[in-house]
Homo-oligomer: A and B are copies of this chain.
Amino acid sequence: MGYQKPTIRDIIAAQKNVYQHLNPTPLYNYPTLSELVGTSTWIKHENHQPVGAFKVRGGLNMAANLTDEERRNGLFTASTGNHGQSIAYAARAYGIKAVVAVPEGANPGKVAAMRGLGAEVIFHGADFDEAREWVKRITEEKGGKFVGPTDEPLIHGVGTYGLEILNDLPSVDTIIVPVGAGSGVCGTAIVAKAINEEIEIIAVQSAQAPAMKLSWESGVLKEAEMKTIAEGLATRVPFENTQRIMREYVDDFILVDDEDIKSAIPLLLEHTHNLVEEAGAASLAAALQVADRLTNRDVVLVVSGGNLSMQNLKNVIA
């Protein structure tokens, strides 16, 4: 049997797992931001999630779909960022164990946040790949569930924010979504195209980490140099399953420069009074880049997360 792409039915089914633990996030129109972009502009506030990022929706759906054995033995993953916090949050919600491997020297603030959520955080290896390979082996030994960044239950879970967008703004014309591994844009695009194939889906990545864009464009998985400051967009090796979905459903893929992302953060602070992390600000940077194409359209910018560090905040508003 070939690969079965997720459908809107999978995402609809994930709602019961997601809304057992989370409420929908707001979709707000900000008049002065709309003026800046030059068209009616809405923010999908995934930064309002309890761990500050959309991924928690996926983690909760993953945790709800474990076998009894996996549930007994726990969730295992590797992450230095929002993914790890999301898995920790979901595991706590279900009263199961979470083990998160991080490389030596991982950000102490993020480690503290994961531990605060009850996760066992283990330092292993010099970089992320070493930590991941190690925790994969541990997972097999322990009989738990290893969670990769684009596993289908995650896509089904995160797609629920796409349903919320369509519920709140049926007239939406364009949705702009930041892309790291691609689960967010896939969930959104599956929902939007199933409901109204005229809705334009624009993916955004940093020009300093263009692997997903280059792969989408060429139809072949291509690694690329990864130097972006935006942790949520920092993909060096593209993912096959999300690429398949994106090739079918994504209409355009924009690269924004890290400098434009840095400029978008203070604009969001000023016009929406929300702290937004680099990846989350990429959707506004993209909208400003293609503003002339967006006139008279109802545009939704997905703010995928808000976990900006104090140091980076200081840098961008200095």
Contact = CB atoms under 8 A, between A and B. Distances in A.
Interface of A: 23-24, 26, 28, 30-32, 34-35, 45, 47-48, 50, 52, 109, 112-113, 115-117, 266, 269-270, 273-275, 277, 306-308, 310, 313-314, 317
A107 to B, nearest CB: 13
A9 B317 CA distance: 46
Contacts of A34: 116
A307 B269 CA distance: 9
Nearest to A306: B273
A215 B275 CA distance: 37
A141 to B, nearest CB: 29
A45 B274 CA distance: 12
B313 A314 contact: no
Contacts of A273: 47, 52, 275, 277, 306-308
Q: Count identical subunits in the complex.
A: 2
Nearest to A168: B23
A269 B34 CA distance: 26
A51 to B, nearest CB: 9
Given A26-B48, A48-B26, A275-B275, A269 B117 contact: no
A277 B275 CA distance: 12
A32 B117 CA distance: 9
A275 B313 CA distance: 11
Nearest to A268: B275
Contact of A24 (B23, B116, B310): B23
B26 A310 contact: no
- Residue from A26, A266, A275 having most chain B Cβ neighbours under 10 A: A275
Contacts of A52: 273
A113 B34 CA distance: 11
A249 to B, nearest CB: 28
Nearest to A305: B273
B116 A31 contact: yes
Contacts of A274: 274-275, 306
Given A23-B23, A23-B24, A48-B45, A313 B31 contact: no
